[in-house]
Amino acid sequence: MFSRCVTVVALIMGLGVTGAQGEHHPYSSVVPYVLTLGLGALYLLVASYLSLRRKKDKATEEKESEDVLLIEEKEEEVPVHSHSKLSSEEGTPTKERKDPGPSITPESPHKPVPSTSSPARPTSSPAPPPREERSAPEGTSSPTPRPTDTSERKLSSTRPTSAPPEGYMTATEVQELLKRQERKFEEKLLQVELAAGEKEKKLHQAMKDDQKEKASLGSSVSELSQSRDALMKMVGQYKGMLASLVSEKEKEKQAADEKIKGLETERNQALDDLANVEVAFSDVHRKYERTKQVVDTLRRNEDTLRGAVADYETKLQKQEQKFIEFQKHAEEKIQLANEEFENMRRANEQEMTKMAALLKKAEMKIMSLQDAHDRKVRENQELTQLCDDLINKVGK
């Protein structure tokens, strides 16, 4: 982008110089301004580009320093983190084994293991203390157990033990549990170390990429400095050419001033003659303008009226068509309403006949129910009379 801008500025300056060398070039008066603007633009471009490069280099250096600090922090955090995990996982048995008595207190949260021998000779080995040296240093794969712990475990496994009560863990089960926990911890530690190694590789790759970019920027800066030197040489040449052009311009200006004075006298005479002609022409032109305005007004009115007549004719035709359509629609609606009314009347007559029959049926049913009710009442009265007679007889 910068090289393109420099090329454009150089072309502008070259065109200005070639145009100024002509004798009667129409743009010869603006050549100094064009050259000055070109030089100013070139200087601004170079200054802005160099400032941007400096800022970018500074940002790259800060980023590299931050990456280095981050790598150092990661290298310090990985061993500490693994060490804290080891002490937290293997330190739990020691909390339960504060009293080194004859009994074994393994890392079982619910069931303690009792002693497997007499109090004077404990057969089980005490729980190993937290092994802080298990955290692997930087660059190693996984920690190895201490030889003392393994020897103690072998001795404890070879010692004769009595069978523990039912529901308690044996020494071998405790050792197996500890081994499983140790394996789990080693696997976790290996995963942490692998993740730290991958992060470190990524950071080193990022640093290499930044260094490559910095080298490319340095080469571009050197190219820019070379182009700047070449441009400064061109500017020196253009300055000499500008000095000669300015002297020629001064001479041409003096001759042009003399010509302008003669032309001004001729212009003043022509202006006086023109003023006299304009006074006569203004009257004629004023009358012509008034007539033209009247004609334009009449023409506009005529066009407006014709347009209004055409609009009204089209609207009238549309209204007639709508009226015919509405009339047809109304006739269809009236016919449909008559048919619907006739259907409703027939349906009502049928419904009335049906309701009359139902009413007659209901009346007959009511009469039959009334007769049955009267009969039941009479029967009840007779039964009541019989009951009263029987009660009287029994009472006597």
- How much is the average pLDDT of 279-302? 89
Instruction: Say how far apart CA 340 and CA 119 lie, in whole Å.
Output: 114
Of the candidates 152, 150, 172, which has an alpha carbon nearest to the alpha carbon of residue 161?
A: 172
- 23 pLDDT above the threshold of 70: no
Residues in the chain: 396
DSSP state of 120: T
* pLDDT mean over 353-361: 90
Q: Are 115 and 104 in contact (CB under 8 A)?
A: yes
What is the percentage of the chain residues whose pLDDT exceeds 70?
A: 66
Burial class (CB in 10 A: 0-12, 13-18, 19+), 175: middle
State pLDDT tens for residues 204-222.
888 888 888 878 777 777 7
* Pick from 33, 14, 39: nearest CA to 246: 33
Banded pLDDT at 19 (limits 50, 70, 90): very low
Q: What is the pLDDT of residues 99-150, one digit of tens each?
A: 434 343 333 334 433 433 333 343 344 444 444 444 444 444 444 444 444 4
In the block, tokens 């007499």 appear at 118
Distance CA 84, CA 130 (A): 10
* Residues whose CB falls within 8 Å of the CB of residue 220, separated by 6 or more in sequence, listed in order: 53
Q: What is the crossing angle of helices 171-395 and 31-90, to 10°?
A: 80
Question: In one letter, which amino acid is 357?
Answer: A
**How far apart, in whole angstroms, are the C-alpha atoms of residue 145 and residue 133?**
9
The residue written with tokens 């475990």 in the block is: 153
What is the value of pTM for the model shown? 0.23
